[in-house]
Amino acid sequence: MLTVRKSQDRGYADHGWLKSFHSFSFAGYYDPEFMGWGNLRVINEDRIAPGTGFGTHGHRDMEIISYVLEGNLAHKDSMGNVKGIPPGDVQRMSAGSGVLHSEFNHAAGQQTHFLQIWIEPNVRGITPSYEQKTFVSDDKRGRLRLVASPTGEDGSVTVHADARLYAGLFDGDEEATLQLDAQRKAYVHLVKGELEVNGQKLTGGDAAMIEAESVLTFTKGKHAEVLVFTDLVH
């Protein structure tokens, strides 16, 4: 079963310096029907104004992934990491027993546009850790590139969670097929453009919630960038 959720049905918050779409209940947005999908808990599409950002705050027992689309996200944490995250990079922070961090847009005249993703871990109280890797566009062109997995296979970042995350770029005749475990949930988030998933048309910001399916096909892309989460627990 594939259920489409349209971009405009997401929650939205405008804080002036931050404009954020919430795929699932978060902060002031609450919808009991959209508390997450399996162990996928948060997908926030954030746009941070120049010279602003999230001050130091804490997390525990959560796998947090940042996927930057535009600009550069400046990250600083209590583990001693001071990093810039440009488009093409995937950052994974395992909050574990507790971590403090901040995220800022230091660029003058350019917003930072990124996806903040939270996945519930399969182990709690671990030592916090950080990982960041670059996945160039050519590796995602016309295919689904594994960017996060429990094993860190194929050069992906390692998440301490039951989840695999793929990123892909599709245009024109490019297409791909992905095999699924029908006993697990999957989730497709179309970052931008247009794309058909199992014949269902998605446009930028749309999502597809998937369960009891064994295969996904991606066709008819128009400047599409997509994230696909698989092996999610119920």
The DSSP bridge pattern shows strands 82-85 and 18-22 to be unpaired
Task: Count the helix, strand and coil residues of the chain and give each as a percent rounded to the nearest 5.
Answer: 5, 60, 35
Q: Binding site: what residues are annotated? A: 57, 59, 101, 103
Looking at residue 234, its pLDDT comes to 79
pLDDT at res. 51? 93
Instruction: Tell me how far apart the alpha carbons of residues 205 and 184 are, in angstroms, rounded to a whole number.
Output: 23
Annotated binding site for Fe cation: 57, 59, 101, 103
Give the predicted TM-score (pTM) of the model.
Answer: 0.97
Which residue range is the domain that position 201 belongs to? 2-232
* Token representation of residue 198: 């199992």
Phi, psi of 157 (to 5 degrees): -75, 155
- Please give the tally of structural domains in the chain: 1
Per-residue pLDDT in tens (0 to 9) along the chain, 234 residues: 999 999 999 999 999 999 999 999 999 999 999 999 999 999 999 999 999 999 999 999 999 999 999 999 999 999 999 999 999 999 999 999 999 999 999 888 899 999 999 999 999 999 999 999 999 999 999 999 999 999 999 999 999 999 999 999 999 999 999 999 999 999 999 999 999 999 999 999 999 999 999 999 999 999 999 999 999 997
Burial of 148 by CB count in 10 Å (0-12 exposed, 13-18 middle, 19+ buried)? buried
Residue 106 to residue 109: CA distance in whole angstroms: 9
Q: Which CATH number covers residue 142?
A: 2.60.120.10
Distance from C-alpha of 38 to C-alpha of 162, rounded to nearest angstrom: 10
Run of H or E including 81: none
